[in-house]
Structure 1
Amino acid sequence: MQAWHVHENGEPSEVMRLEEVDRPTPGDGQILLRVRAANINFPDALLCRGQYQVRPPLPFTPGVEICGETEDGRRVIANPALPYGGFAEYTVADAAAVLPAPDSLDDAEAAALHIGYQTGWFALHRRAGLEAGETLLVHAAAGGVGSAAVQLGKAAGATVIGVVGGAEKAAVARELGCDVVIDRRAQDVVAAVKEATGGRGVDVVFDPVGGDAYTQSTKVVAFEGRVVVVGFAGGSIPSPALNHALVKNYSILGLHWGLYNTKNPKLVQHCHEQLTELAARGAIKPLVSERVPLSGAAAAVQRVADGVTTGRVAVVLENGAAV
């Protein structure tokens, strides 16, 4: 079979190689899956660079989120068990963590439903307790995780303010349903948020960026607001001034979604059921902006790493061999 291998750490376009390799053999509690589509996530770039919290042995195949097919023909979504990632014709996954792919979504959309939407759901509902009528600020609102948070915020009845970088991404954020869109390259984010909220600020902040975005968040979060720290795509990890949180009575909440797979897997299943229902009634639909063949995976991972994509980019294997 064909699979992308990383033999040394570095930039994805430089270290990913498409090779002919043997099919992986499932270990105890694992199943073999034929990959139908693999969604590209920022962690795939971090894996290539050796900067992710999980560091699989070299060589490994990146690709942490797929829609696949089981040996008995079931269409499922899964997180592949590294080092056998999803940018390949076949992968393996823990059988207990495999989830049914929603019938309302195609393969690429189903592949993109899992990590980003689970992250958004846990951030907004489990950690922040977002309520209808509240105001939600989403940084990187046109990106993969941000676009999921925008849709989930609207589905929850919140007013959503999206922050993006550039006119093209601003147009995408509007299409996603943002009530207010702020282009950080052309506008003062803090001033624009205060104007949009009449000076009150926002109830919940969804921040996958860190750095300056986090600093802006602390300036616009409302009394008893909640800032959910999801990641640091901006490359800079902020050091919170806790006296500021005390003065304004806001909460700083962390979210590492992957922990729920071991700490509370039943909640992951519950979340998937909620997401499947929302997808069935059209309240959420992953924005797949680009679909590439397996041969285009390395270049696509690099584009995601460079922050020039919107929504999700998916690797689609339409003619994979039967299991």
Structure 2
Amino acid sequence: MIDVAYAAANWGDTQKRRGVYPDPLSYPAVIGLEVSGRVAALGEGVEGMAVGQRVAAITGPTMLGGYAERCAVGAAYVIPLPDDMPLDIGASFPVVCLTAYHLLHSAYSVRAGECVLVHSISGAVGLALTQLGVAAGATVIGTVGSPGRDAPARDKGAALVIDRSSEDFVERALDFTEGRGVDLVIDSLGGDVLPRSFDCLKTYGHIINIGEAAGYPDFEIRPKLYERSTSLAGFEVLHAMRVPGRWQAGVDHVLAAIREGTLSVPIARCFPFGEIRELHRAFETRTVNGKLLLEVAGEGV
């Protein structure tokens, strides 16, 4: 049981609220995938944690429970925090940074010299992917959906940011790679962006889809796969727990990078506990650079 200091907004929270998330939702329900706070109580047999300890947590496969003063979480999903890490940062990194890590190092094995294209690169996941990709020796490029959103990704090391509202991202990506194509596309948009992403892949290139923020994609997948022997995969961050040692490797890598200063999670805004409606409205504009938080009890928890 966690006394919640902060909860963070994620796209899955808005999908749950609107009733369009792939997993069924029963009521009553308290949404919220990601929290930080202090341990209030331990279940029977739980080891390695203590009451009062500062922690972050993903609320588990149901993605429920975070928007509350107290949240019950399976012990496997709890991340003890370093003493010098603020609790707002603790609520900001688990989903974003572990998603980015496992996209690059579990679902794919990024190598130095490869080119990775990230859609919505100035969002929270995109910025984490940029930093971790550059740290791995990859060249990271990406797209944004409106003018003036390139600076955050460029500041984190992106080599090229393409505005999809005024530029053809396929043409720009092919120009950037001198016609070769990119090694990996990470797509959170779906819609008509996903099928076009195949066109900027190299031969044997790979796409990982992590969402449908631009709508559900409706196209014939098999012909696209055979154009250049490419591949498409889905992704769920918690599946890393199914591989022994994989989840903890990600936690250790991310925490070390944050403490060393090579990985940062910008917080765009923190909303009071009573303003969840306004939090979701801001999140759904898709113009936010960084994480949006809900302050429940704050640092004084």
Question: Which TM-score applies when normalising by structure 1?
Answer: 0.83
Distance 1:168 1:104 in 2: 34
Alignment partner of 1:55 is 2:24: yes
Task: Determine if contact 2:4/2:71 at 8 Å carries over to the other structure.
Answer: yes
Q: 1:93-132 CA distances to partner (integer Å, 9 max, x unpaired)? A: 1123211124564222221211122221111111221101
Specify whether residues 149 and 321 from structure 1 end up closer, same or farther in structure 2 by C-alpha distance, changes over 3 A only: closer
Query: Is residue 158 of structure 1 aligned with residue 170 of structure 2?
Result: no
Select the residue among 60, 64, 67 that pairs with 2:33: 64
In the aligned structure 2, how far is the partner of 1:266 from the partner of 1:57? 33
Of the three residues 117, 123, 148, the one matched with 1:137 is 117
SS state at 2:106 partner: helix
Q: Is the 1:137–1:202 Cα contact (8 Å) retained in structure 2?
A: yes
Deviations 1:193-240 (A, max 9, x none): 111111111111111111222122101011221111111111222435
**Partner AA of 2:230 in structure 1:** Y
Structure 2 match to 1:208: 188
What amino acid is the match of 1:242? R
Distance in 1 separating the partners of 2:13 and 2:32: 6
Of stretches 304-313 and 58-67 in structure 1, the one that deviates more from structure 2 is 304-313
Indicate the residue corresponding to 2:261 in structure 1. Answer: 282
- What's the secondary structure of 1:239's corresponding residue? coil
Matches within 5 A, 1:1-12: none
Counting matched residue pairs gives 290
Residue identity opposite 2:95 in structure 1: I
How far apart, in 1, do the equivalents of 2:215 and 2:294 lie? 25
- Residue from 258, 266, 286 that aligns with 1:307: 286
Query: Residues 194 and 217 of structure 2 are in contact (CA less than 8 Å); yes or no, is this contact kept in structure 1?
Result: no
Instruction: Find the partner of 1:294 among 252, 273, 280.
Output: 273
The 1:199/1:100 distance shift into structure 2, 3 A limit, reads same
CA–CA distance in structure 1, aligned partners of residues 146 and 282 of structure 2: 16
The answer to whether structure 1 residue 109 and structure 2 residue 89 are counterparts is: yes
Moved over 4 A (4+): 81-84, 318-322
CA distance in structure 2 between the partners assigned to 1:113 and 1:319 by the alignment: 16
Q: What does residue range 12-31 of structure 1 map to in structure 2 within 5 Å?
A: none
**2:7 — aligned with what?**
38
1:12 aligned partner: none
TM-superposed deviation, 1:320: 7.7
The verdict on how the C-alpha distance between 1:134 and 1:83 changes in structure 2, with shifts beyond 3 A counting, is closer
Listed as ranges, the matches of 1:149-228 within 5 Å are 149-228=129-208
Secondary structure of the residue aligned to 2:292 is strand
Q: Secondary structure at the match of 2:72?
A: strand
Which 10-residue stretch deviates more, 218-227 or 171-180? 171-180
**Larger deviation, residues 130-139 vs 149-158:** 149-158
Residue 48 of structure 1: how far off its partner (Å): 0.6
TM-score (normalised: structure 2): 0.89
**Residues 224-261 of structure 1: CA deviation (Å, up to 9, x unaligned):** 21111111111222435323322312221221223334
| Gap regions ≥5 residues in structure 1 | 1-31
Could you tell me how far 1:54 is from its partner in structure 2?
3.3
Partner Cα separation in structure 1 for residue 298 and residue 91 of structure 2: 17
Aligned Cα RMSD in Å?
2.1
Counterpart residue type for residue 256 of structure 2: E
Residue 167 of structure 1 deviates from its aligned partner by 2.4
SS class of match (1:167): coil
